[in-house]
Amino acid sequence: MERLSRWSGIWKEELDRVEDPFFATSYVFDNLQGRCDLSGLRELLKDCGFFQAEKLTRDQIMMVLRPVERGEWLLLKDKPFRPIDPERYSGSRFCKSKVELQQFAASSVCGEGAGKWKIVNIELNKVASGAAFLANFLTSRGDEGRVFLSSGKDFANTTRTVTQRWVPLSEGEREFSRSSAVHQYGTERKTQQHYVEADDHWDISGASWHWRPVLANEVYEFKKG
């Protein structure tokens, strides 16, 4: 079944069904011009602030297509023309695995134990970030010849909430179990990140635009003392 989805709604086992954003954009455009019956399209429209595809102007349609073109919304097909390479998309590492979910369900019977914090969701804080985007847009108008959103400073002060969940260690990580902290499996913690220009020893200039505080996809917590 063909459908549109964010990264958070895609299983790792489905990544080979994700169409390349270039071809996905064309497909979604044709659907908006035609039947408008693609699964997930209504959610995409709502996410862009629209509710009825039939009344969209061409400029509004282009606005709806941007998240698809940028690879924020994905098109899943049984036989994609050109499947994506997951290694090129950072969002793919947040996809849940059916196998891991089954392992988690089996481990949850024990209630609590050794594990790690794993990012399971990232959500942009739309109200606060919208105000930041507006302020950045007004400021960018003084930069002649530069396209808005082409620089990290255009995203300055936007915020997002990262959700991490305590999950069991994988089979290859069991050696860390003795030194691991113990929490209830399924416990979640949320961290608010800000997009700022800060020190970056890996960048030639010594600084770069990135999310702070920095969070790894998986974080190990060890016993205190």
List the chain domain ranges. 3-92, 97-219
Average pLDDT over residues 27-45: 89
Do 20 and 81 form a contact (C-beta atoms < 8 A)? Answer: yes
pLDDT at 101: 67
pLDDT at 108: 55
| CA dihedral for 47, 24, 151, 93, sign (positive or negative) | positive
Do 153 and 136 form a contact (C-beta atoms < 8 A)? Answer: yes
Q: Name the most confidently modeled range: 82-96, 97-111, 119-133, 181-195.
A: 181-195
Which residues are registered as beta bridge partners of 4? 75
Task: Place 102 in a pLDDT band, splitting at 50, 70 and 90.
Answer: low
Average pLDDT over residues 17-35: 91
Q: Check pLDDT > 60 for residue 110.
A: no
Q: Which amino acid makes up residue 88?
A: R
Task: Place 74 in a pLDDT band, splitting at 50, 70 and 90.
Answer: very high
Do 81 and 19 form a contact (C-beta atoms < 8 A)? Answer: yes
pLDDT above 90 covers what percent of the chain? 39
Task: Place 201 in a pLDDT band, splitting at 50, 70 and 90.
Answer: confident
Q: Check pLDDT > 90 for residue 138.
A: no
